[in-house]
């Protein structure tokens, strides 16, 4: 019998097409899963160092002086200290995500910080901010005052013991004037 007289001639075209379509689907699914697995999760705190600082990392008990801009997810500028001078605050007394981010920063550094809503204001957002908003900060750490929370507590205790309020105690930094951020 010759090749040209086979009872069932081969049908390679349809089988080959199915093979390549199946291979393409498997590759596409693999690439998609790999992309999803490596894309950054925006529900996590993110701190990007733009310009490294120097010295020790900020601790929750430290006071800091910062320049900042706060943007909402749509890019709208919500708040900034531009033109008002560096903003003082106690590192551990801000929204949880920002407090955590500060512990990854150093004096003089410049940073971009993404705070997910669950670590920000959540449903209790300030006026003008949609509830459950993610927050994007541009931060410059101008100054760090080590252990400012303890100094402020000590000064407050001394003032109460003396029966006076608002009187500076000699040798103290005035750290009790730092806002709590709440």
Q: In Å, how far are 25, 106, 108, 169 from 52, measured between CA atoms?
A: 45, 7, 7, 35
Does 113 or 156 have the greater pLDDT score? 113
Place of tokens 């006076």: 164
Does 96 or 168 have the greater pLDDT score? 96
Rounded Cα–Cα distance for residues 148 and 105 (Å): 16
Judged by DSSP in three states, 141 sits in strand
Rounded Cα–Cα distance for residues 111 and 171 (Å): 33
Residue 136 forms beta bridges with which residues? 71, 114
Most confident option among 20-29, 34-43, 155-164: 155-164
Confidence of residue 27 (pLDDT cuts 50, 70, 90): confident
Nearest alpha carbon to residue 110 among 67, 78, 144, 150? 67
Q: Is 0.85 topped by the overall pTM?
A: no
The pLDDT, as a whole number, for residue 107 is: 97
CB 130 within 8 Å of CB 47: no
Confidence of residue 172 (pLDDT cuts 50, 70, 90): very low
Residue range 59-114, pLDDT digits in tens: 999 999 999 999 999 999 999 999 899 999 999 999 999 999 999 999 999 999 99
Place of tokens 């919500």: 78
């Amino acid at each position: 019998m010759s090749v040209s007289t086979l009872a069932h001639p081969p049908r390679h075209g349809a089988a080959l097409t199915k093979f390549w379509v199946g291979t393409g689907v498997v590759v596409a699914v693999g690439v998609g899963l790999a992309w999803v697995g490596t894309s950054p999760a925006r529900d996590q705190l993110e701190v990007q160092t733009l310009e490294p600082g120097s010295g020790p990392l900020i601790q929750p008990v430290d006071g800091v002086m910062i320049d900042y801009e706060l943007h909402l997810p749509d890019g709208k500028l919500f708040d900034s200290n531009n033109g008002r001078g560096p903003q003082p605050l106690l590192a551990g007394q801000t929204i949880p995500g920002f407090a955590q981010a500060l512990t990854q920063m150093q004096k003089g550094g410049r940073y971009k910080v993404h705070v997910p809503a669950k670590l920000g204001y959540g449903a209790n957002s300030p006026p003008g901010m949609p509830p459950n908003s993610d927050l994007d900060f541009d931060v410059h750490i101008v100054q760090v005052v080590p252990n400012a929370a303890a100094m402020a507590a000590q000064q407050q205790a001394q003032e109460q013991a003396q029966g006076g309020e608002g009187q500076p105690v000699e040798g103290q930094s005035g750290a009790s004037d730092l806002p709590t951020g709440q």
